[in-house]
Structure 1
Amino acid sequence: MKAIASLGSMPNYLLSNNPAVKSIKDLTEKDRIAVPAAGVGFQSRTLQIETAKLYGDQDFKRFDKISVSLPHPDASAALIAGGSEITTHFSSPPFQYQALEHSNVHKVLSSYDVLGGQATFNVLYTTQKFHDENPKTYKAFYRALSEAANIINRDKNAAAETYIRVEKSRLPLPLVQKLLTIQKSASRFSLSVLAYMPKNSMSLAY
């Protein structure tokens, strides 16, 4: 396998509708943490890294037992509505920003806090065989990826319109535009020589 590029940096927020939860130290057996894949995946691994910092490496799975697997849309809806077992959600854009528009939801921590700053969220990869046997396809794909990154950075309105069209999203355009503006300072989309290399992601390998 060979890496093609990182897909930029963006923070993931641990959110809660429990006023008593100001840090993960405040989580109890009564809380339930929604993550896309309990025990594995970016959100769970990030939580485990923070847990190890506070409780020691031997106890890094401390909160796995109160974690539940739930897709981001369902987890966000449960957190916002309240009244369910879900009191905490390790979220992701754009869902975290939608949730934070509601006064009963607050941010506990950011993945950037845990990983030491802007951190690569997704990485594209392929096989050496595919790269060597499909040079035109690979080149066209990389050019399209570079163009997309440039559009996102240069024209937020066009990026928002494209997102809604491609994803067939029901989100209103003004909201998506607002989310991109919010993310501008926290997220980075670039294929430059330095920016395309993964950042602050080594801890996820352990």
Structure 2
Amino acid sequence: MDRRSFLAAALGGAFGGVLSLPQHAFGETSTVRISHGYGILYLPLMVMRDQQLLEKQAKADGLGDIKVSWIDIDGGNVINDAMLAGSLDIAGTGAPGFITLWSKARGIPRSEIIGLGALSTSALWMNTTDPKITSLADFTSRDKIALPGVKTSLSAVVLEMAVAKVFGIQNYAKLDPLTVGLSHPDAMAALLSGKTDITAHFTSPPFSYQELEDPRVHRVFSSAEILGNITLDVVYSLKQFVDRNPQLIRAFMTAQNQANAYIAANRVGAAETFLRISKIDTPKSLVEKILADPDTRFSTTPNGVMKYVDFMSRAGLINNFPRKWTDMFVSELSHRTGS
């Protein structure tokens, strides 16, 4: 059994159990499988899930009753493999993972993907328990930096981009040998325990904030300080799914905008939603603090995704690259002032 078939079989139960979804008489699916991760970057999808915004919008648009199956899954490679295996219809993921798959699958009809929009922007923080580390230049071979996936995760690629900015593109992989693959919750536990060789963690909210509650931890740098406030996560789908379900996709995009509006208007309610859906144990006041941070933003308009493309092409991480950001996203976004 090849990897794709194995994934489809292994994930089938959790992802709805079917690869050929039921269709309405007019051709649109009546079941959709959507994934999101665990951190604050996925909050719009959590709001959609909690308030059933897609179901309500689909019904308002004349699609009738649709069933939405939500899957908690993180890690760019895992998400991309699940999408290609036919176990996902729409996914929230890090921009680098999306660009990697877009480049690899470009021109392959059954695998080609397309972005439905941006998801979120925030700052990734490099936190450490070592008082001697105050900059990227202070890391040595004795240090271990935890992040979700070595060389493949959002954190891994953003770290390489920051290193390239500081030390030059030819040295973009300078810190790669120090990185260790751990989920954000496991990495936080390892860093705070002081019982492992993990000396730093490159992470997103709320984990970045939670770690700084410990007086032994300090922040080395923020990704926003080096790279600016660029889109970190996006939402995407297989192009053939989008082509077959245009009304559903429009309903999804509308629902995501509704979720963003809710977050902007009701910070307390959004914080409660995050805690309810993510099941992360942290004070609501801390989540509200994160949402008040100007570096934390939720918009469907991509911002700075071509910075990833520029870096990844110069570093030789992708072979096919878009001429402009709109090449990677649905045409409904083409009138926007993105980048």
Residue 42 in 1 paired to residue 154 in 2? yes
Task: Pick which of 90-99 and 136-145 moved more.
Answer: 136-145
Residue 199 in 1 paired to residue 311 in 2? no
Partners of 1:200 and 1:107 lie apart in 2 by 25
Higher relative contact order (CA 8 A, sep 6+): 1
- Quickly say closer, same or farther: Cα 1:162–1:28, change in 2 above 3 A: same
Q: Which residue of 2 aligns with 1:157?
A: 268
Q: SS of 1:3's equivalent? A: strand
Q: SS of 2:290's equivalent? A: helix
Q: Which residue of 2 aligns with 1:188?
A: 297
Q: Which residue of 2 aligns with 1:119?
A: 230
Contact 1:119 1:201 in 2 (8 A): no
- Quickly say closer, same or farther: Cα 1:200–1:130, change in 2 above 3 A: closer
- Quickly say closer, same or farther: Cα 1:76–1:152, change in 2 above 3 A: same
Partners of 1:177 and 1:113 lie apart in 2 by 22
1:134 deviates by 1.3
Partners of 1:168 and 1:41 lie apart in 2 by 22
Bigger Rg over Cα = 2
Contact 2:290 2:296 in 1 (8 A): no
1:103 deviates by 1.2
TM-score, normalised relative to structure 2: 0.55
Contact 1:118 1:200 in 2 (8 A): no
Partners of 1:135 and 1:39 lie apart in 2 by 34
Task: Pick which of 136-145 and 10-19 moved more.
Answer: 136-145
Q: Which runs of 5+ in 2 are unaligned?
A: 1-112, 314-339
Partners of 2:214 and 2:279 lie apart in 1 by 24
The alignment of Structure 1 onto Structure 2 pairs a total of residues equal to 199
Residue 147 in 1 paired to residue 258 in 2? yes
Contact 2:121 2:298 in 1 (8 A): yes
Map 1:22-171 to 2 at 5 A.
22-115=134-227, 117-171=228-282
- Counterpart amino acid of 1:90? F
Partners of 2:281 and 2:161 lie apart in 1 by 35
1:179 deviates by 3.0
Q: Which runs of 5+ in 1 are unaligned?
A: none
Partners of 2:229 and 2:200 lie apart in 1 by 23
Post-superposition Cα deviations, 1:134-182, rounded to whole Å, max 9, x if no partner, equal: 123212211211111111111011111111222233333333233323x
Contact 1:120 1:201 in 2 (8 A): no
TM-score, normalised relative to structure 1: 0.88
- Quickly say closer, same or farther: Cα 1:46–1:82, change in 2 above 3 A: same
Partners of 1:6 and 1:85 lie apart in 2 by 35
Partners of 1:39 and 1:151 lie apart in 2 by 35
Task: Pick which of 153-162 and 128-137 moved more.
Answer: 128-137
